[in-house]
Amino acid sequence: MASVSLLAGWHLDNKPKAPALHGASVFYRNLEQVLDQRRADGTIYKIPRGVVSEDVVDLVTMDFLSLTRTGKMRSLFLEEEAKHPDFKLHMGASRLMADSPYFSETEDEVAALHGAEAALLFRSGWDANNAILTAVPRPGDVILYDELVHASLHDGMQLSLASTKQSFKHNDVDAFREALMGIKENEPLIRDGSRCVLIIVESEYSMEGDITPLAELVGISKEIFPDGNAQFIIDEAHSTGVLGKQGKGLVSELGLEKEIAIRMHSFTKALACAGGAVVLCNETVRAMLTNFARILIYSHPPQFGVVASIRVACSFMKSGQIDPLRLQLQHVVRKFYDTITSHDVFDEASEAGLLSIPAAADYESRDYLSHISYIKTRQRYNQYLYYHLQLRGFKVLAVDYPVVPKGTNRIRLVFKAHHTDAQIEAFVEAVCEWAREMLEIEANPKGKDKIPSAARQVFAFRDTLATNGDLA
């Protein structure tokens, strides 16, 4: 579990550094001034060193189906690698100059599995989203996107040729309809059918843990643009492997393969691959990516090891072996909601505004529960809860602005298929233990303890380090 000293070192070293660089180059001073703003806001990032202890319950990493933990995909990958003893570590050039039948065969397998006409592999989901948005939108097109889509899509949109980029309120069907109607009214080239609206959504949102109402959005788009100049681009990174039969994702589960122009699936999360992502589309879109996606044209393709791991993941999905893991993951999430909502302190803490789990709303009536959830408390208490859970042996992520909008700080939870009932019960008890302590503190404003015990330990250690000059 995390130690008090580790938390103090990771999260409380916010002393500005730029003022001390009097004799340094202006280049480094300017960079440190930018970093100092992050330090002042308490949003500075650091890469932790070392390996997480096996005693810690991991609620952070993306190993949704626990395939990394069990080594299942590694074993399958090594078997596949043994079939190709003369494989090349890399192609030595862009795919436009040197290709491999193995790559093309893998793309064909992935396309067939997902009911797509064509597929094109990329090194990562970030690269794939960049390729889509730099190659596909044309001048005069309009991009309409859910306000909470991934950062990779925002970066891609900045580089796109689309004339207008407009967001709509997250998962709000009425706001989506209103935005589409506004585009039709205000954009002559869209209205006359000579340019397109490209609609960008995610199947499963990585910070909210909710699902896009895709069928409704598609229906609205076809109603407003019956001639087909409204098309969808969907990022299925967080649904790949976990949502729908064989883990094929939301589009396949809804039977909308023919309605969605472009799908992006990544393989590094639930499927535990060595990297890689795929764009599913038709041959026209694939040709656009091949000719206009600079990240594909001017850089190396995925290495053999990445493509081989994707191939075995595809076989694993087709075999049906993935389905029991998906069902187990659903059990874990439902166990969490059952346990925490029935805890004797939950209602009181919720009514006091100390504890909220938005993704638990109406969970009993939903067939599918996202493996991503989060806990909200008062914004100034978010770090307190984070310290408490870390010191109790639960690795969680405190998410702050700019990753999420201001005022929506949270503790994000990512559940795994290997989590046991006992671990979930212990986690809930740790959360509610903290909530009970905060209720007592707020009920006694004149008491000596103004902050909870875990935060007091971390702050005390920080002060000791500062006094001894160990906190740089």
Tokens for 468? 């001894």
Q: Smallest Cα–Cα separation from 247: which of 323, 330, 327, 155?
A: 323
What are the Cα distances from residue 48, in Å, to 174, 212, 293, 404? 43, 33, 34, 21
Give the pLDDT of residue 472: 46
- Measure the CA–CA gap between 304 and 206, rounded to whole angstroms: 28
436: amino acid identity, one letter: R
Cα-based distances in Å from 279 to 29, 300, 364, 369: 42, 17, 34, 25
Q: In this structure, what token pair is assigned to residue 426?
A: 């212990």
Q: What are the C-alpha distances in Å from 339 to residues 4, 95, 333, 374?
A: 28, 51, 10, 15
Tens-digit pLDDT profile for residues 304-335: 999 999 999 999 999 999 999 999 999 999 99
The residues, ordered by sequence, that sit 6+ positions from 153 with a Cβ below 8 Å of its Cβ are 129, 133, 145, 200, 235
CB 414 within 8 A of CB 62: yes
Distance (Å, rounded) from C-alpha 472 to C-alpha 470?
Answer: 6
Q: How are beta strands 164-168 and 142-146 bridged, if at all? A: parallel
Q: Residues in the chain with pLDDT < 50? A: 472
pLDDT at 7: 66
Give the per-residue pLDDT at 466.
Answer: 67
Q: Which of 151, 148, 150, 61 is nearest to 414 (CA)?
A: 61
pLDDT of res. 427? 98
d(CA 218, CA 232): 8
286 Cβ neighbours under 8 A, 6+ residues apart: 118, 119, 120, 279
**Cα Rg for the chain, rounded, in angstroms?**
24
Contact between residue 419 and residue 57 where contact means Cβ atoms under 8 Å apart: yes
Q: Sort strands 410-414 and 397-399 into parallel, antiparallel or unpaired.
A: antiparallel
Instruction: Please state whether beta strands 372-375 and 410-414 pair in parallel, antiparallel, or not at all (unpaired).
Output: antiparallel
Per DSSP, 299 falls in state S
The whole-number pLDDT of residue 249 equals 98
**Residue 333: what pLDDT?**
98
